[in-house]
Structure 1
Amino acid sequence: MIHKSDIDESVARALLVRFQELRITLMILQKTGIGKTVNELRRATTNEDLSTMAKSLLKQWKKLLPEPFVATSSTKDGKSIASTDDNNSQPQRKDSINNTQCHEASKMIGRKTYQSIPSVTNVPWQTVDTIRIKSRELLANALTITRIPEGSGDPVELSARIEDAIFKEINDTTVKYGRRIRSRIFNLRDLKNPDLRTKVLLGSITPQRLAVMTADEMISDTLKEECAKFKEIAHRESQLAVDEGIGSDLIQCERCKKSNCSYSELQTLSGDEPMTLFVLCRNCGHRWRG
């Protein structure tokens, strides 16, 4: 039985996404009992996204039941999916692999601690290094922090490819590797920068590209515009340093109290904002905004 306190929502979300990608057969459902596990998760979680994903999977799996069992598929706890008699032929090799993966994954849904999420097939970017596995888990959690858009790639596979690209460039798991991993996680988890996460999930930004992006490249377009605006303001203010402005004896220096000043007006914000007054004391060199 899965209890609410045992559910790690990030891990559960990643596993439900994996189940959507797998070719689940009736044989797999019968052998692993994954239908019952997913239904327990649906009933235990208070997260609407997880509940919706679980319901969608259960509805999809019920379609695999033979006609005589469809009428009983709405029984409590989803037991009909997991307990239908084994009357199919021997599964193909791919089904056997998926069977094993589902069985292992079903045991992980209720675990609160992070676990290594199994891959479906043997691929070049697999690893047994515990540091790298942990990095992949944290990246997967960052990719699934919010609702996954339709048409997204497998977050678990993407996280593995991102980590692998970082490792291949740095070639070890020391300080530089850790900083690179943390910066990717920080930016992917940033709720004010959803575009980065979406672009990675949809493939607009490849794992190889994300692995080498600078901090400036990963920030949101909105923040880029703000940074550009502040740079422009700083540039304009620096130009004032060599601009003596218009002399005036009507302005008194805040520091030396002399009335030997010059001033310049500059548009520092948008066009509909008032001009900013910059004052220079010719006596003591003090500068301030009016």
Structure 2
Amino acid sequence: MSEGNVISEAELVRLLSLAGTSSGKAENGDTAEEERAIDALKILGRSVITSALLLKTDAGKTVKRLSKHDNNNIKSAANATMEAWKECVRKEQMKKSSSMKKEAGIDATDSVQGNHASAAPEPDSKDSAAGSLSSLRMSSVSSMDSLGGASTPSAPKLKGRPKRSGDSTRDKIRDLLAEAISTALSDEVPSECDPCRVAVEVEEAMHKQNGGVNQKYKAKYRTLAFNLKDPNNPDLRLKVLLGQLPADLLVNLSSEELASDSRRQDNEKIRDYMKKECERGQKATASTDMFQ
């Protein structure tokens, strides 16, 4: 697979299933199945993968489980795949971070002064990538391409701007949040629902939660912005705009909890599928054991 060409979800699931099933059969000493499992893992390791795919398919957990296999060759292949995927995630996070900082007017070299807390040091890239592979609570922001090509809904023109905080970074984020929330405006929404006011409440809650403008604050903004702009997540925007989801509660939700219903359903279907495939592999192993 050429560099930059991301593996498809269908191919990823197929290879994971093959690796899982064959590795199960290889526990009985079946060298042919061992080779199939290793070949599948090698292909996976050469593939470009995104954090969105890892989140949706639980691929990281599957490969991590194989990295503890009794067969040393399978274990080695799984570990190599894990390391390759960590590097993919690390590069993606660096690219996304740079892009979002530019969008929010945050220069990577900016230092926070005055009443704001100093920026926290960047987390270790390996630890960050490993967390992305093993947890559904990833906060890394995926591109809108992962939504199946859907486009962000257009926002009505705002009447005015959110209240200024006196800090350029915070004010820029308030503007961007207001723009995202305003896409929920419609004739059915009461006129007193003001996206600018809500954006200020959300930004202030983020600022309070994270102790100032620091790396955690910026990461939380990126997560919220991604989900609020998701064209498949109108319910989230509307609940925030109507006050049904208060700012102090909103900023404490995980990426999974912020996701749209369709995204959560897709995640659940993939997890169920992978579980059944693993169980099928285990049953095949048990059946073979009966003849030993």
Q: Same fold (TM over 0.5)?
A: no
TM bin, normalised by shorter chain, reads: 0.3 to 0.5
Is the helix fraction higher in 1 or 2?
Answer: 2
Is the strand fraction higher in 1 or 2?
Answer: 1
TM-score by length of 1: 0.42
Higher relative contact order (Cα pairs below 8 Å, separated by 6+ residues)? 2
